[in-house]
Structure 1
Amino acid sequence: MPSYTLTQLAAALRNCIESGFPGRYWVSAETIGVRVGTSGHCYLELLDKDAAGSRVTARMKAIIWASDYNTLSLRFRQETGAAFDSGMSVLVMVAVTYHEQYGFSLRILDIDPSYTMGAMARKRKEIIEELRKSGLYDRNRSLTLPRPIRRIAVISSGTAAGYGDFIAHLEHSEENFRFYPVLFQAVMQGDQTESSVLAALERIELHKELFDVVVIIRGGGSESELAAFDSLAIGRACASFPLPIFTGIGHDRDETVTDLVAYRSLKTPTAVADCLVASHREEWKQIDALRSRAADALRLMMMYNHEQLMQLSLRTPSVLSASVRGEQHRIKAVEDRLKLAAKQQTTYGLQQLRITTQKLPALMQGELKQCTASLERLTSRLPLVAAVNMKRYNRQLEASEQAIRLLHPNATLRRGFAIVLKNGKAVRSEAELSYGDKLVTRFADGSVTTVVTESK
C-alpha cells in the first residue's frame, strides 16, 4: 500500500480534479451566505435542493475574485433590478478548483442575469397565485375609499427625495387643499426593507381610525432594491390591510407584488400626490355641482310656493267665509248639546234629592237608636270606672304625703341632727363664721344660743 504525506495527497487530488474537470461549466443553483470581504472577493455557497425544496441535495463553496465581482455584480444589478445576494436562483459559469490549504471550491467566472430574472418572475407568479388562493389578492382594492382623503399615513424614508417631492406636491396644490400626512419611518432599500415596512404597517394598524389611506413611496434610490416589494410577507400584509393602500415605489419596469395588491399603484411619489390632489379636486367639483343643484331647486321651490301663495290669497275670502259658517254651526251644535246635558243633569239631581228626603227619617231614627245604646253602655260602666280611678288617686296622694313627711327638716332633726342658724339663715360652712358671731342651734325638741369664741 503506497504512503503519502498530506501535501502529496492534496497535490494528487488537485491534479485529479483539474484533469478530470479541465473546462468551464454552467451550473444552476441557489445562493446562500453571500458576503464581500475586505479584499473585495465575494464568498458564498451554492446549494441544490430536491424537487419539493425541503432537503439540500448538494452544497459547495464558491468564490468570485474581486477582479470579476465588480463587473459581474454591476451587470447583474442593471439587468435584474436586484443586487446579487443570498436566496437567489442563479445560473453561473464555474471552474472547478482545489487548493491544498483551502480545499475544494467553485470559481464563478460569469453570471446569467436572464436566468435569475426568470426565477424571479416565477417566484412573483407563485406569490400572486398564493395570494389569489387565499382570497387576499383583490381584498385591498375592494375597500371603499373614504371621501374626502385628507389623513394620510406615509411609509417612506424621511430623508428620501421622493418623500420631499410628495409633501411638496400636497402642500402646493393650486387650490391650497389641506392634507394631514404623518410619516412612519421605514428603510426603503437594503436587507432591512421587508422587516421595516412590515413594522410600519403594524404601527399604522394600531391607530387605523386616525387615517383615511396608507401611502408607500420610495424615490431617489437605486431600482436594484425593489426585490423586497416582491416578497410574500409584504404582499400579504398590504392585501389584507384594513385601509386602502397607494404605492409610488418609483420604477418603470414590471409592477411588484406590492403594486399588484395595492388599492392604487402609480409610478412615482409625485404621481401619488397628484392623484390625491385630483381626488380632492373632484370632491370639490361634486360639492360645487351639488351646491348649484341645491340653489336651482331652492329657486324653483320659492317660485312654486309664491304661485301657491298667490292662489291662496285669491281664495282666502270665500274659504274664510265658509270656515266661519262651519265654526258657527259647530258652536250652535255644542250649545244645544250643553243645554240638553244641563237639563238632564238637573232632572237627575232632583230625583236623587227626593229619594234622599224620603229615606232621611228612617236613617235619623236608626242613628238615634245606635247613639242611645252607646250612651246607656257608657252610663252603666261609669260607677265602676270612677271607683277604680278614685282608688288609684288615693294611693298616689298617700305616697306623696309620705314623701313630704320624710323630706321635712323636723324628720332630720329627730334622727339626731341639728341646724345652726346665723341671723336666721342656715350655716353651711365654717368660712361663713367669724369671732363673736351669735348663733342659734335648733334641735328636734328645742334650741340654744351660742357665741363663736374659737375656730379650729
Structure 2
Amino acid sequence: MTSHLPNLLVPETAVSVAGLTASLQTLLEQEETLQQVWVTGEVSSASRYPSGLFFTLQDPEGKAALSCVAWNTSVHKLFKQPVSGEQIVVLGSIRVYPPRGQYQLIVTQALPGGEGLQALRYRQIRDRLAAEGLFDPQRKRPLPAHPTIVAAITSPQAAAWGDIQRTLKRRYPGLKVLFSPALVQGNQAPESLVAAIERVKRDGRAQVLIVARGGGATEDLACFNDERVVRAIANSPIPVIAGIGHQRDETLADLVADVCVPTPTAAAVQAVPELAMLEAEYQELRESLHLAMQHRLEQDRDRLRSLRYRLRRLQVDRQIQQEINALTWKRHQLIQLSNQRLQNATQHCQHLQQKLATLDPHRILQRGYAIVRQSQGNLVRSSSELQLEQELVVELGQGQVTVKVTGLSNSSNRDILNT
C-alpha cells in the first residue's frame, strides 16, 4: 500500500534538541548573575552518593523546587550540611545537564537559615494531634486473627497495588479484597485519600484497612502528613495498617495507624496469616491431643492393673466385695470422664477440621469457580495473555474441559468501590 503524505515545509531555522539545549546551556552558564548566586530554601530531600551530595531546595509554600549538588570536593567545606526539613542558604552556580535537559545549582557553600517552614508546620500539627491523644499506644487496636475481607487504599496505577494483591493471594487464598482507589501524591491527594477511607467505612464489610503507597521523596509524601488524612484514619472504625514506603522520616499517618510497616508488601503480610502456618498449627494441636489421650489412657490402665493386683491379694470375702464395689464405681467414673474428655476433644478436632476446610482452595472450585490454563499448563490471570481461537483447559470442581477463545474483554471481576 502506498501512503500519500502532504508536502511539509520544515523551517530552515529549526534546531535539534541538542542544539536548543546547548543554546540554553550557553545562555545560563555565561550569565554573570548566575555564576555566584545565593539561594535560600528548605531542604526537602537529601541523598549521599559516591560522587557527591544531591539535595532539593524548595520554597516554603512548595511552589518551586531546585535540584542541587555538592560534589565530593566541596562537601567537606560546607559550613552547614543540608538536612531534610531545615532552612538553609546556599552559594553556587547554575549548570545545565544536557542528557535530561535539566538545570541544577552546583553548591560550593551552605549556611544555616533556621527551621524550615514545612518542618515547622509538620512539628506543630504533630504536637497538636499528640496533645489530643491521637498517637497514644492505648488507642491502637489489635488486628483480627483471621479476616475474610480486607480493603486496600492506594493508587490504581501504582506498583503498591500489585504487590498487595500478590502477597494476599499467596498467603491467604480465597480472601475477599476490596479496592478503594485514591491519589497518593499531589495537592488533590489528601481529599482523595479521605474520600477513599469514607467509601470503605460506608461499605462496612472490611475487617482490615490497608493504606499504602510506594517509596518517594519527602515532598511526595506530604499528603500523609495532612491533618484531614490523619483524622480520617483516627476516626476509622476499622483497624488501619499504614504501609507507606519511605526511607527515613515517619509520616503522621504512620503515627496514627494501628499498625505501621515500611512497605505495602509488609502491610499485606501483617493483614493476614499464612495458610501454611495455620495448617502447621492444626497438625501440632492434633498431635498434642493424640499424645495427651494416650498418656491418660496409659495412666488409667496402670491404675486398673494396680486395683486388680490388690483384689487378688485379699482373702476375706467382705473385703473382696468392698474392693469390687469400689472398683466398679471407679471404673464408672473413669469411663464417664474419659467419654466426656474424648467428646470434648472430638468436638475440638471437628472444629479445627471445619476451619481448615474453609481455607481449602479446592472448596473454591466446588462453589462454581474454575482454574483456566493454557495448553502448556500456564495459569491464565488476564485476558491480555490470550488470543482468539486459542485453546484453553478449564479445571472445574470435578473434571476439566477444553474450550476455545471466541472473544476477549479487559473488564475485571474485582469489586471497585466508587462514590
TM-score normalised by the shorter chain: which range applies? Answer: 0.3 to 0.5
**TM-score scaled by length of structure 2:** 0.46
Bigger radius of gyration: 1
Higher helix share: 1
